[in-house]
Amino acid sequence: DVKVTQSSRYLVKRTGEKVFLECVQDMDHENMFWYRQDPGLGLRLIYFSYDVKMKEKGDIPEGYSVSREKKERFSLILESASTNQTSMYLCASSPPGRYEQYFGPGTRLTVT
Partner 1 sequence: SQQGEEDPQALSIQEGENATMNCSYKTSINNLQWYRQNSGRGLVHLILIRSNEREKHSGRLRVTLDTSKKSSSLLITASRAADTASYFCATPPTSGSRLTFGEGTQLTVNP
Does 62 bind partner 1 (CB under 8 A)? Our answer is no
Of positions 19, 24, 25, 33, contacts partner 1 by CB under 8 A: 33
Sole window of 11-19, 68-76, 79-87, 99-107 interacting with partner 1 (rule: CB under 8 A): 99-107
> 34 in helix, strand or coil?
strand
| Under 8 Å between Cβ of 101 and 111 | no
Binding residue for partner 1, selected from 19, 85, 94, 111, defined by CB under 8 A? 94
CB of 107 to partner 1, least distance (A): 10
90 sits near partner 1 (criterion: CB under 8 A) = yes
